[in-house]
Structure 1
């Protein structure tokens, strides 16, 4: 074979290996991060059990945060999809694995006892580490304060994590989530105590807040579970799923409909 022909063949083969030449001089204005939400979970396991479940099982998360010492483990790159959300919906967006970052916190969750359910608290240093991580994530992906949500928000019919002991207000104080103004809540609570809105109103307000729920005006089990998920987040002292005046005031304050 002639040297020139051989050189040409080698050059063609090298080009096939390298792939096509792509011109990257232009950049579209209309784009954003694939990440729209950050979903918080507890593991219901200790560290070793959590690592085993999240690295060897059928579920995964982008990050795992241990309690003591507060250590952050990255298990999945943020550019890749982790399997943490499952059947989920928030503000009409479904199956949130593709559009979210999952963060698991090592926490036993709860223990059922003869005296009722015992929920485990989160050590302050674990939440400190979470806040640092969240600030980096929201900056990296250009997320707003409505983007950080719990597993119980996106799947209230089957999930309760991160649970009533999770300190959402601490995240609000760090500027990471929206929190209802206490004075406005008190004003509206007095109004709603005199005349409580109907179930359809609660369903409409919960949907506005982001939850997936039918607006049929019936206080069924699904509606109660969604109300309980909302209460667990904003009024963790009592999350019985009952549509009361304080819950109405919290919803109206957050949604700006009071």
Structure 2
């Protein structure tokens, strides 16, 4: 009897350790992926330092893509949260670690020299690998072209990565993001060159595009940083933060098609 009682107790304990029995025959229609965005970064250092930072420190990302050779490393499972976005906001969503996949690209970022800031380019094969990865993630999580953003988009007051040499247009050519139509931009630029919209218009259009900024009609430092972040992405040849006619045309065109 004692042996039988012991076996029953052990069976009960084993059942408790295995967790509750869950019936999975039913599934709700009202659901989607927790992943709403993919955030692109550069690491500011080489592969050894990048791996050390992303695996042993407090910062992490789901994927790391080396440059030479182009190798994709998965560091965090997609169903878990990685610590890559920090204090961030896009289209009203805040603290995007919980709703995004982070991808870090091995790239030094920039070097400040006596002749100005020198930005480092991205090897073509590294971007090829990124595009393959992005297409896979977008398909699995049913994401639209507005979902792929840079760290400088979601945190423009403190971040500049992936920088002005990141080839956003290649992502557009791969069908991953929307790119402004050149003819429409030229048409609107001619109009805005005659009469440039005021600062409040720029703030409204930038907010509509997804950026977080106050709409008070004053061209303050924060507004300039957000304009520069937008220019860095769509007009990397000049990202001075000035609200000019070309920037207005780019914004208006993207918001028409977004």
TM-score (normalised: structure 1) = 0.98
How much is the aligned-residue C-alpha RMSD, in angstroms? 1.0
Partners of 1:86 and 1:221 lie apart in 2 by 21
Extract structure 1 runs of 4+ deviating beyond 2 A.
1-11
Partner residue in 2 for 1:41? 41
Q: Do residues 125 (structure 1) and 137 (structure 2) align? A: no
Partners of 1:67 and 1:19 lie apart in 2 by 44
Partners of 1:48 and 1:123 lie apart in 2 by 18
Q: Do residues 232 (structure 1) and 238 (structure 2) align? A: no
User: What do the CA deviations read for 1:176-203 (whole angstroms, capped 9, x no partner)?
Assistant: 0111111100000000000000000000
Q: Secondary structure at the match of 1:101?
A: strand
Query: What's the offset of the Cα at 1:2?
Result: 4.4
Q: Do residues 216 (structure 1) and 211 (structure 2) align? A: no
Partners of 1:40 and 1:3 lie apart in 2 by 61
Partners of 1:3 and 1:52 lie apart in 2 by 53
Q: Secondary structure at the match of 2:239?
A: coil
Q: Secondary structure at the match of 1:103?
A: strand
Partners of 1:8 and 1:116 lie apart in 2 by 76
Partners of 2:96 and 2:158 lie apart in 1 by 15
Partner residue in 2 for 1:79? 79
Q: Do residues 148 (structure 1) and 148 (structure 2) align? A: yes
Query: What's the offset of the Cα at 1:5?
Result: 3.2
Q: Secondary structure at the match of 1:129?
A: helix
Partner residue in 2 for 1:181? 181
Partners of 2:98 and 2:18 lie apart in 1 by 29
Partners of 2:2 and 2:159 lie apart in 1 by 70
TM-score (normalised: structure 2) = 0.98
Structure 2: segments with no counterpart, 5+ residues: none
Query: What's the offset of the Cα at 1:115?
Result: 1.1
Partners of 1:101 and 1:202 lie apart in 2 by 29
Query: What's the offset of the Cα at 1:13?
Result: 1.7
Partners of 1:175 and 1:150 lie apart in 2 by 17
Alignment of 1:1-258 (within 5 A): 1-256=1-256
Partners of 2:39 and 2:2 lie apart in 1 by 62
Query: What's the offset of the Cα at 1:169?
Result: 0.3
Higher mean C-alpha deviation, range 114-123 or range 6-15: 6-15
Partners of 1:50 and 1:3 lie apart in 2 by 57
Partners of 1:7 and 1:158 lie apart in 2 by 61
Q: Secondary structure at the match of 2:118?
A: strand
Partners of 1:10 and 1:124 lie apart in 2 by 60
Partners of 1:7 and 1:46 lie apart in 2 by 58
The number of residues matched between the two structures is: 257
Partners of 1:145 and 1:248 lie apart in 2 by 21
Q: Secondary structure at the match of 1:39?
A: strand
Partners of 1:118 and 1:192 lie apart in 2 by 32
